[in-house]
Structure 1
Amino acid sequence: MIMTNSLSSTLKLSAIGLSLLVVSGCAAQGGEQQSWMDKTDSDVAEARSMANEALGTANSAQRDAQAALKMARENRQAMDRMFQKSMQK
């Protein structure tokens, strides 16, 4: 009976110790996850900033391309007029 009590006490202490290890491991992992999430939030903010900058650059490039297309069309019309004049002579 003494051996049974000793074994029972050892098992109880082992279970308590194991529970403490699991709880402390979960707490440590929770802290790591929070740290990772904090980094993720700053990465998201940085990515959003870069995306906004890229959007501004793309909009500027589109305006430049539209202006160049307009100039090309105007030049073509002028060349067509010059060709028509030369054909009439």
Structure 2
Amino acid sequence: MANSFSSALKLSAVGAAMLVMAGCAAQGGEEQSKWDQMDSDVAEARSMSSEALNTANQAQQTAQSALQMARENRQAMDRMFQQSMQK
């Protein structure tokens, strides 16, 4: 009877240990899933910031081009004004 009780107790301990390990493994899987989602979010944020940087660079180039055109137009207007004043 004592041997049977000892075996049952050992079996219960092994079963409890397996349940704890299974619970830890499941929780580890959930944690990994959270980390995977975070990695995905970081990658998406990097992609969006890269697109924003490209858009900002294009806007800066457009603004510089417009400024150059405005300067050229101003010079042409100044020349035309000078020519009209000489006549």
Q: Read off the aligned partner of 1:39 and give its amino acid letter.
A: Q
One-letter amino acid of the structure 1 residue matched with residue 70 of structure 2 = A
For residue 74 of structure 2, the aligned residue among 66, 73, 76 is 76
CA distance in 2, matches of 1:50, 1:57: 11
**CA-based RMSD:** 2.3
Give unmatched runs, 5+ long, in structure 2.
1-15
Q: Which residue of 1 aligns with 2:44?
A: 46
Identity, % of aligned positions: 74
Unaligned runs of 5+ in 1: 1-16
Alignment length (residue pairs)? 73
| Structure 2 counterparts to residues 24-43 of structure 1, below 5 A | 27-43=25-41
**Residue 61 of structure 2 aligns with which residue?**
63
After superposition, the C-alpha distances for 1:51-83 in whole angstroms (9 at most, x for unaligned) are 111111111111111111100000000001111
TM-score, normalised to structure 2's length?
0.66
CA distance in 2, matches of 1:80, 1:26: 80
